[in-house]
Amino acid sequence: MKRIATMMIMAAVLAWGSALMGAEEPKKDETIKEEVKKEEPKKEESAVPDWVKNIKFKGDFRFRYQYQNYEDAVKDDTLERNRLRYRARIGLEAKVNDWAKIHFGVASGSYESKITADQLAGDSDVKASLGQDLRSTNQTFDDFFSHKPLWIDYAYAEFTPWSWLTLTGGKMKNPFHTTSELIWDGDITPEGAALQFKYAVMDELSLLANAGIFILDEVKALDDPMMAVLQIGAALKVSDFDATATLSYYDPMNLMNAEANTGEGSKMRDYVSQGYYWKNIAAALDASYTIEKKYQIGLLGEVTANLYGLNKEALGAKADDNLAFFVGLKGGTKALANLGDFQSSISYRQLGISSWIPFLIDADPLDGNVNAEGIKFDIKAGLYKNFSVAATLNYFWTLDKAFNKDKTNKDLILQLDLNYKF
């Protein structure tokens, strides 16, 4: 009996010890797993540089139906055209440190690939006619499902050593204050270097000063065609009233040195050979009043005059037609992000035949030519967050028919858009 009791006690001790050891094992495993879980995120975080976390992406897509009715009185012909087009853009902003950013963006765009019988007569003419349309990121549906081009839209570095000073270099978005596309088409991204100064002298008033030097063409043996720009102005904010006014000076240089075998270069040399040249002063005003912190009404204005002593012997009366101006009204919500938001504007403009460089102006009215006047009306409406629709009507005609073989051309363009931003 004594032997049996001893065996039972030993069995009980072994069972208790086994249970105790079995209970400790899971505790050790759970502790190890918890430590591993804590370590894994730390390893992942340390593997990603801080500057990568500071990259921001943005973009937009637009689907457009466009109707155009162009009455060419000189050729006694009418062009009636229906087109489906799209625009796709994507960009990134990388914050390198507290004072430096890198911007890079690509966009769709069109190019001229169709060759006419007249162009076939000479290789140089064909070469000059082909290339990207620098004033458009639209791509028309055509060419039997062919692959479409994607262009570098902008690529530049931005340095802000102080809050009131920004230095920019590269292919950049327009660094100057404008209120319309009178002298800068919205798709133009100039190449060069720029400086932007904005200093608040008081809470309600800031002083502005912008400057830039831009390369228009690169020539091996001659001085490069380029443009220098200087702009000064002020920004005022008093309660719900905002206004920005600027005065600018534009000085294109060495235009006759442009390469003759490129599209824009050949056009520029042709203008200069006829006696055209430009040194412009421009003024712009954007004033708005906010109602109930959501709605806004405003006045827009812009004017430019060519101060250069044009060759009157070559140009005649065209030399005196050197003024261009724009005036417009706008209204609607401050933002266009959600259902119920809307924005609308109506404007009138004139462009004298020697008022400004043709390759920089709005590309739509009268095929982007000077010696034009007309009206533009547009309305945009938000449907959902970052999704909107828009309708735009351009109606333009010849400003002075004396410079157009005593004929008046007319151009009506209707654009219906679906827009999505992300």
Q: Give per-residue pLDDT as tens, 64-113.
A: 999 999 999 999 999 999 999 999 999 999 998 889 999 999 999 887 65
Tokens standing for 95?
Answer: 């914050």
| C-alpha–C-alpha distance, residues 209 and 295, integer Å | 29
For residue 88, give the 3-state DSSP assignment: strand
Calculate the average pLDDT of the chain: 86
| C-alpha–C-alpha distance, residues 323 and 286, integer Å | 20
Residue 269, number of CB atoms within 10 A of its CB: 18
Give pTM, 2 decimals.
0.83
Q: Mean pLDDT across the stretch 103-124?
A: 67
Residue 370 pLDDT exceeds 50: yes
Place of tokens 């007249």: 118
Nearest to 118 by CA among 133, 128, 103: 128
| C-alpha–C-alpha distance, residues 37 and 313, integer Å | 84
| DSSP category for residue 309 | -
The model's confidence at residue 2, banded by pLDDT at 50, 70 and 90, is: very low
Q: CA of 158: how far to CAs of 90, 98, 173, in Å?
A: 18, 11, 11
Q: Are 101 and 156 in contact (CB under 8 A)?
A: no
| C-alpha–C-alpha distance, residues 8 and 225, integer Å | 106
Residues 6+ apart with CB under 8 A from 281: 247, 248, 249, 250, 304, 305, 307
Range name among 20-34, 42-56, 340-354 with the lowest pLDDT average: 20-34
pLDDT digits (tens, 9 = 90+) for 284-320: 999 999 999 899 999 999 999 998 866 677 788 888 8
Four-residue CA torsion sign, 194, 195, 198, 201? negative
For residue 162, give the 3-state DSSP assignment: strand
pLDDT of residue 123: 47
Q: Give CATH for domain 56-254+278-309+322-421.
A: 2.40.160.10
| C-alpha–C-alpha distance, residues 170 and 94, integer Å | 15
Q: Mean pLDDT across the stretch 139-159?
A: 93
Nearest to 306 by CA among 275, 328, 327, 285: 275
List, in sequence order, every residue forming a beta bridge with 380; answer none if it has no partner: 343, 390
The model's confidence at residue 275, banded by pLDDT at 50, 70 and 90, is: confident
